[in-house]
């Protein structure tokens, strides 16, 4: 061959030219770097491969002190596992410990990213190279000619200088287990950061949970990053909205610190953390000049785990998390999930396994509240999952959440002892109302929330009932309108609870507004209108407008008898209310008009009818007997009233619990009957106990408390006189 050579070579390529017969054999080995041992490894294992370094590590002193113990002279090999949900600051703690080990204890620090097999393998071989492994040995390990993990640990075990090895982001423990990468050594300490909480993955290791920050420390993180954006108190409010999650706090602080042209205050930022836009706003705090890392964004950090669920064939786990994301970042009783209605989203038989996976990946945690086992998930996590949920899935998820909550609330709420489980359901009902935007879904969620408010009210938890009903009505009105039947019913329940809280003026205004609207849109005899009237007459009667209250109550009794029937619990409740409202002369007149005290139509026969149709322990029956004892008392039948109210107090305590509000009302009447029979000291003692109970439960300024205090003073001064029989 003659002539100029026209071949060209680039990079490591070579061109061969010959004029005779030549036989050329070449072996090609391709590497990402110049060294055959490099194998595409990290640029450094001596520095933590982290994103933004915290200005100050807050509230991790106890954890670091425990880790320091493993570096003390004479301590043997130690493996520590920092576990917790994404964004809680595990890597930040590991970085702080890394700095302590290298600067204060003279350890060689080795930092390896264990997020996937390739990164782990490359990082561990780089650590072996740091500890003296030869290029030929590393090349053989890369090519699979010798076990890579054995090579790495051979050099770690033989290190002349003690070391600290950090395996960061080890969220798939199987990678460490299958390759034999996680071992102990007398020459060093291993620290693992992971989202996987189950102890079975980390045999022999000391586990340390890393959670969210305390309120004050969370506020300090924001002030560290954006000191001119607001006060500590304002920062604490923002921190609460962010769930005190370190990643969210860091992003929020970064956003506030970089607003130059039009700086934001913390109050302004906190006010924008509402709705589906909150996650996007938080992630705006990421450094736009750095490469996007999903672990550094709240909107994507958990998507890594969800993607792994899909890849591993665990769609039920994704479905369960999306279902939880329709609810609140508050403890959810596990019994709510143990219901057949969950099958619309995932098979009930798979719900337990799906929850176990979420627990293992720190996407939720179990908490025990007075013996009630609950699942608790972080708010930023739930918001992120909710935003990323496919729109086509929302209707089924919302309907399923509503049915699960519906099944957890009593179908017919009745009076009874305080039930902590009911209060736990309230934030989830309200969260569902915030999430759902479909009209039918809003109606379903509002029905559940209103019935829950009734249940809370009837267990004596008036504050929770007021908060639940009022918030539910306001949320639902955005979709249904202020004059929707269900919204009006929720507002009516709000007014009933306001009355029990002693806020009579507010209760009257609200109940009058609701009733006027119901009269205009529905009718006077509509069950909802009658229910509002029942509540309004209570306010009027306790505000000194007895005649107006009696007139309204009589109209409610007539309406309920016509619409619901004479035996309906609501009708009997209203008739029993007359016994508590009428004067002695009015009760006597009714008895004369009816001819006797025992006929089915007789007012004084209501307790017997309640016992017959509702049962002796029904709340309406107990209330009717209580009011009947009051009627006997005002009629001057003091002995009969004393005998009856004593038994009512015992039955109240047995059925409703000793702390139920009606117990104090019955004991107050019992104090009066005792005094009326001449046992004044016993009456004073009883009345003093009632005052203490009402001050403790209602406060010193509540109307009921003031009435009780006044009665006690009259008994003590001798000014009190029992009612006389009507002439």
Same domain, yes or no: 157 and 82: yes
Residue 500 has φ and ψ, to the nearest 5°, of -65, -25
3-state secondary structure of 333: strand
Per the listing, tokens 């609207």 go with 517
We report the CATH number of the domain holding residue 139 as: 3.40.50.300
pLDDT at 5: 42
Per the listing, tokens 């589906």 go with 276
Same domain, yes or no: 589 and 710: no
| Residue 49 within any structural domain of the chain | no
Question: Residue 291 above 60 pLDDT?
Answer: no
| pLDDT 10s digits, 273-282 | 876 677 777 7
pLDDT averaged over every residue in the chain: 87
The H-assigned helical ranges of 583-618 are 584-594, 606-614
| Residue 433 within any structural domain of the chain | no
Q: In what order do the strands lie in the sheet containing 206-209?
A: 108-113, 163-168, 188-194, 78-83, 206-209
pLDDT at 15: 43
| Residue 103 within any structural domain of the chain | yes
Exposure string for 433-457, b = 16+ CB within 10 A, e = fewer: bbbbeeeebbbbbbbbbbbbbbbbb
Read off the DSSP letter of residue 596: S
pLDDT at 26: 39
3-state secondary structure of 532: helix
How many angstroms separate the Cα of 701 from the Cα of each of 204, 374, 495, 696, 717?
Answer: 60, 37, 19, 11, 22
Same domain, yes or no: 89 and 135: yes
Exposure string for 169-184, b = 16+ CB within 10 A, e = fewer: bbbbbebbeebebbbb
Confidence of residue 318 (pLDDT cuts 50, 70, 90): very high
| pLDDT 10s digits, 181-223 | 999 888 999 999 998 888 888 988 999 999 888 889 889 888 9
Same domain, yes or no: 74 and 96: yes
Same domain, yes or no: 306 and 380: yes
pLDDT at 271: 84
3-state secondary structure of 372: strand
Which residues neighbour 606 within 8 Å (Cβ) at sequence distance 6 or greater?
572, 575, 576, 579, 624, 627, 628
Helix axes 61-69, 90-103, angle to 10 degrees: 50
How many angstroms separate the CA atoms of 612 and 625, rounded? 13
Same domain, yes or no: 167 and 194: yes
| pLDDT 10s digits, 372-414 | 999 999 888 888 889 889 999 999 999 999 999 999 999 999 8
Count the Cβ atoms, other than its own, within 10 Å of residue 290.
10
Total number of residues shown for the chain:
727
CA atoms within 13 A on the CB side of 720: 25
Same domain, yes or no: 157 and 274: no
- The residue out of 236, 271, 296 marking a domain boundary is 296
Give the residue-averaged pLDDT of 603-629. 94
We report the CATH number of the domain holding residue 324 as: 1.10.10.10
- What the block records as the tokens of 312 is 């591993």
| Percentage of the chain modeled with pLDDT above 90 | 58
| Residue 244 within any structural domain of the chain | yes
Exposure string for 375-387, b = 16+ CB within 10 A, e = fewer: bebbbbbbbbbbe
- What the block records as the tokens of 567 is 């035996």
| pLDDT 10s digits, 560-584 | 999 999 999 999 999 999 999 998 8
| Residue 173 within any structural domain of the chain | yes
Which one, of 479, 407, 405, 485, lies nearest residue 445 by Cα?
405
Confidence of residue 702 (pLDDT cuts 50, 70, 90): very high
How many angstroms separate the CA atoms of 89 and 641, rounded? 66
Question: Residue 7 above 80 pLDDT?
Answer: no
Same domain, yes or no: 199 and 66: yes
- The residue out of 332, 356, 391 marking a domain boundary is 391
pLDDT at 144: 82
Which residue would you say has higher pLDDT here, 368 or 308?
Answer: 368
- What the block records as the tokens of 722 is 């029992």
pTM above 0.85, yes or no: no
pLDDT at 304: 73
pLDDT at 153: 93
- What the block records as the tokens of 177 is 């287990």
Same domain, yes or no: 246 and 134: no
pLDDT at 672: 95
Same domain, yes or no: 182 and 222: no
Question: Residue 644 above 80 pLDDT?
Answer: yes
pLDDT at 17: 47
| Residue 325 within any structural domain of the chain | yes
Cβ 208 vs Cβ 258: under 8 Å: no
| pLDDT 10s digits, 535-553 | 999 999 999 999 999 999 9
Give the residue-averaged pLDDT of 588-604. 64
Question: Residue 30 above 60 pLDDT?
Answer: no
pLDDT at 279: 77
Which one, of 613, 612, 648, 655, lies nearest residue 628 by Cα?
648
How many angstroms separate the CA atoms of 632 and 646, rounded? 13
How many angstroms separate the CA atoms of 663 and 585, rounded? 27
Containing structural domain, residue 268: 215-296
- The residue out of 391, 414, 448 marking a domain boundary is 391
User: Which has the minimum average pLDDT: 7-16, 110-119, 252-261?
Assistant: 7-16
| Residue 278 within any structural domain of the chain | yes
Number of domains in the chain: 5
| Residue 519 within any structural domain of the chain | no
Torsion of CA 669, 671, 676, 682, to 10 degrees: 170
Question: Residue 18 above 50 pLDDT?
Answer: no
Question: Residue 658 above 80 pLDDT?
Answer: yes
Confidence of residue 56 (pLDDT cuts 50, 70, 90): low
pLDDT at 143: 83
pLDDT at 29: 35
Question: Residue 288 above 50 pLDDT?
Answer: no
Same domain, yes or no: 591 and 650: no
Confidence of residue 585 (pLDDT cuts 50, 70, 90): confident
Question: Residue 364 above 80 pLDDT?
Answer: yes
Count the Cβ atoms, other than its own, within 10 Å of residue 644.
23
pLDDT at 258: 80
Count the Cβ atoms, other than its own, within 10 Å of residue 110.
26
| pLDDT 10s digits, 335-346 | 999 999 999 999
3-state secondary structure of 394: helix
Same domain, yes or no: 116 and 95: yes
How many angstroms separate the CA atoms of 460 and 457, rounded? 5
> Which residues on adjacent β-strands are paired with residue 675?
none
Give the residue-averaged pLDDT of 74-99. 86
The H-assigned helical ranges of 212-343 are 215-225, 232-241, 246-257, 266-271, 277-283, 303-311, 315-324
We report the CATH number of the domain holding residue 703 as: 1.25.40.10
């Amino acid at each position: 061959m003659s002539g100029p050579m026209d071949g060209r070579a680039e990079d490591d390529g070579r061109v061969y030219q010959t004029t005779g017969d030549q036989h050329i054999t070449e072996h090609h080995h391709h590497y990402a770097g110049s060294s055959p041992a490099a194998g595409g490894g990290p640029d450094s294992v001596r520095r933590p491969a982290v994103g933004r370094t915290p200005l100050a590590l807050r509230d991790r002193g106890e954890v670091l002190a425990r880790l320091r113990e493993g570096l003390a002279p004479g301590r043997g090999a130690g493996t520590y596992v920092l576990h917790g949900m994404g964004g809680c600051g595990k890597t930040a703690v590991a970085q702080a410990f890394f700095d302590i080990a290298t600067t204060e204890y003279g350890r060689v620090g080795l930092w390896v990213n264990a997020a996937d097999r390739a990164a782990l393998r490359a990082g561990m071989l780089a650590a072996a190279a740091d500890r003296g492994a030869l290029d030929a040995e590393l090349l053989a390990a890369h090519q699979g000619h010798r076990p890579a993990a054995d090579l790495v640990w051979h050099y770690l075990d033989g290190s002349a200088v003690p070391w600290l090895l950090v395996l960061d982001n080890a969220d798939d423990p199987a990678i460490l287990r299958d390759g034999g990468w996680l071992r102990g050594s007398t020459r060093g300490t291993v620290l693992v950061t992971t989202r996987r909480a189950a102890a079975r993955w980390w045999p022999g290791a000391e586990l340390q949970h890393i959670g969210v920050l305390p309120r004050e420390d969370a506020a300090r993180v924001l002030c560290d990053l954006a000191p001119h954006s607001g006060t500590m108190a304002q920062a604490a409010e923002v921190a609460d909205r962010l769930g005190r999650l370190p990643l969210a706090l860091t992003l929020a602080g970064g956003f506030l610190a970089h607003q130059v042209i039009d700086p934001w205050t913390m109050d302004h930022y906190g006010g924008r953390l509402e709705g589906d836009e909150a996650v996007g706003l938080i992630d705006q705090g990421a450094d736009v000049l750095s490469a996007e890392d999903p672990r550094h964004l709240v909107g994507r950090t958990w998507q890594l785990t969800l993607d792994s669920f899909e890849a591993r064939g665990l769609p039920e786990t994704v479905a369960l998390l999306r279902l939880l994301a329709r609810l609140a970042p508050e403890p959810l009783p596990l019994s709510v999930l143990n219901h057949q209605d969950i099958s619309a989203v995932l098979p009930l038989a798979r719900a337990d396994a799906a929850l176990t996976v979420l627990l293992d990946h720190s996407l939720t945690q179990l908490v025990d509240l007075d013996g009630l086992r609950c699942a608790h998930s972080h708010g930023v996590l739930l918001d992120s999952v909710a935003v990323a949920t496919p729109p086509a899935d929302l209707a089924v998820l919302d309907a399923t959440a509503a049915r699960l909550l519906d099944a957890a609330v009593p179908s017919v709420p009745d009076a009874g002892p305080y039930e902590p489980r009911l209060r736990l359901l309230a934030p989830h009902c309200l969260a569902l109302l915030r999430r759902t935007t479909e009209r039918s879904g809003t109606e379903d969620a509002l029905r559940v929330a209103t019935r829950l408010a009734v249940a809370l009210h009837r267990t004596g938890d008036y504050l929770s009932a007021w908060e639940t009903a009022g918030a539910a009505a306001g949320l639902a009105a955005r979709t249904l309108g202020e004059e929707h039947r269900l919204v009006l019913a929720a507002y009516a329940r709000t007014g009933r609870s306001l009355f029990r809280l002693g806020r009579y003026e507010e209760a009257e205004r609200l109940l009058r507004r609701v009733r006027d609207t119901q009269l205009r849109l529905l009718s006077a005899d509509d069950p909802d209108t009658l229910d509002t009237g029942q509540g309004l007459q209570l306010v009027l009667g306790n505000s000194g407008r007895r005649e107006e209250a009696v007139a309204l109550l009589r109209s409610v009794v007539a309406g309920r008898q016509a619409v619901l029937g004479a035996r309906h619990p609501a009708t009997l409740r209203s008739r029993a209310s007359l016994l508590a409202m009428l004067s002695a002369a009015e009760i006597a007149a009714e008895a004369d008009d009816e001819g006797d005290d025992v006929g089915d139509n007789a007012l004084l026969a209501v307790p017997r009818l309640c016992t017959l149709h509702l049962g002796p322990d029904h709340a309406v029956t107990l209330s009717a007997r209580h009011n009947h004892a009051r009627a006997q008392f005002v009629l001057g039948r003091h002995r009969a009233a004393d005998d009856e109210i004593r038994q009512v107090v015992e039955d109240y305590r047995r059925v409703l619990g000793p702390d139920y509000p009606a117990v104090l009302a019955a004991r107050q009447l019992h104090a009066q009957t005792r005094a009326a029979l001449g046992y004044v000291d016993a009456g004073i003692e009883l009345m003093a106990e009632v005052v203490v109970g009402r001050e403790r439960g209602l406060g010193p300024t509540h109307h009921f408390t003031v009435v009780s205090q006044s009665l006690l003073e009259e008994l003590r001064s001798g000014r009190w006189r029992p009612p006389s029989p009507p002439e």
